[in-house]
Amino acid sequence: MKLSELGEFGLISRIKGHLGADGGQLIRGIGDDAAVIRGGADVVTLATTDMLVEGIHFDLDYMSPGELGEKALAVNVSDIAAMGGIPRWSLLSLGLPADMEVGFLDGFFKGLVAAGNRFGVKLAGGDTVTSGGGMVINIALYGEVAAADVIYRNGASPGDRLFVTGTLGDSASGLELLKKGLRRSSCDLYESALAERHLVPEPRIKESAIVVSEKLASAMMDISDGLLQDLGHICRESGVGAKVLAEKIPLSGAFVEAGGKHGLDKMLSLTGGEDYELLFTVPEEKMPALDSCRHLFESGLSEIGEICEGTEVSVFDEKGLPLSVMQGGYDHFRKELR
């Protein structure tokens, strides 16, 4: 069945069917003019939104509807985790071509709802419109955190140590392979691991909760546009510089093996976007606390450099020589991924 046969109200009741009943803090979800959510004392609400446009941010040639639903939510969840918060509620706006197959949307919602269950996020409402071109997905996500526990980008000081979760460069490498025509039905385990990192990123909610509960970080953000570009944001907001040691950048086996096989740029670990790892700064006096809980970081945790005086982000090789790296990362109004 096509969307044009189902109609808007048929679509909304179909979406309601995917979501199940309201409950808990969600007093009223879909079905009124606005969602009604119970709040709490001494808790702040975090709000973020992210838009995905077909042909710009995703390509349905290599992405399943379920993966798309999952990723659309995961990238927002990552922003809430980056502030130290717990994701709670989402609003979803969809621009849909009228000739879209309804089965595609069912797959999308299955992925979205499964991810919501995993991350503890309930869809509270949204809007659906016809798109003249491709599919457009906008999710607004609300999260909560105790007012005293919010972690901003602007708290880094010279001498703070620099940490990242997980491994870097996988998602951008996976995207390169997918764009080259790699398909998961016919690729090796390393190639498939990289593609997976791009298609279904894992927001670091648990890791963020550890950082919050141990009060480890003076500043934090998630890496969506590439390590150097995002570290530049922390530095600018905090009025500091940073030194990064290239040899300390955590690389996955898949990045090394599949990257070598396909001759991918190693600099993708410094500049490639969409890894959704956490980047945070730890003051010296918090290092004992960090050492006693670092085994809890299931993603892995790596120290990659330090915050210094100044305004520059510089990268050094294993001999201590400065590396010149194309400044960059993803810029939404420039053409290419650097």
Residues forming the site for Mg ion (CB under 5 A): 79, 222, 224
Residue 322 CA to residue 315 CA, distance in Å, equals 6
DSSP letter string over 103-126? HHHHHHHHHHHHHHHHHT-EEEEE
Closest by Cα among 37, 244, 232 to 141: 37
At its nearest, how many Å lie between Mg ion and the CB of residue 143? 13
Where does residue 215 fall: left (phi above 0), alpha (psi -120 to 50 degrees), or beta otherwise?
Answer: left
Residue 245 CA to residue 313 CA, distance in Å, equals 11
Residue closer to Mg ion (CB basis): 137 or 264:
137
Residue closer to Mg ion (CB basis): 3 or 227:
227
- DSSP lists the bridge partners of residue 52 as 137
At its nearest, how many Å lie between Mg ion and the CB of residue 3? 32
At its nearest, how many Å lie between Mg ion and the CB of residue 83? 9
At its nearest, how many Å lie between Mg ion and the CB of residue 82? 5
Residue closer to Mg ion (CB basis): 176 or 275:
275
CA distances, 66 to each of 53, 111, 301 (Å): 16, 4, 29
Residue closer to Mg ion (CB basis): 191 or 275:
275
At its nearest, how many Å lie between Mg ion and the CB of residue 22? 29
Residue closer to Mg ion (CB basis): 16 or 233:
233
At its nearest, how many Å lie between Mg ion and the CB of residue 39? 24
Residue closer to Mg ion (CB basis): 25 or 49:
49
Which tokens belong to 8?
Answer: 């808007």
Residue closer to Mg ion (CB basis): 224 or 302:
224
At its nearest, how many Å lie between Mg ion and the CB of residue 197? 17
At its nearest, how many Å lie between Mg ion and the CB of residue 204? 12
- Asked if residues 323 and 313 have their Cβ atoms less than 8 Å apart, the reply is no
Residue 101 CA to residue 124 CA, distance in Å, equals 24
Residue closer to Mg ion (CB basis): 37 or 82:
82
Closest by Cα among 325, 321, 323, 320 to 338: 325
Q: Which burial class, exposed, middle or buried, applies to 208 when counting CB atoms under 10 A from its CB (0-12, 13-18, 19+)?
A: buried
Q: Which burial class, exposed, middle or buried, applies to 231 when counting CB atoms under 10 A from its CB (0-12, 13-18, 19+)?
A: buried
- Do you know the residue count of the chain? 338
Residue closer to Mg ion (CB basis): 9 or 333:
333
- Asked if residues 165 and 300 have their Cβ atoms less than 8 Å apart, the reply is yes
At its nearest, how many Å lie between Mg ion and the CB of residue 137? 17
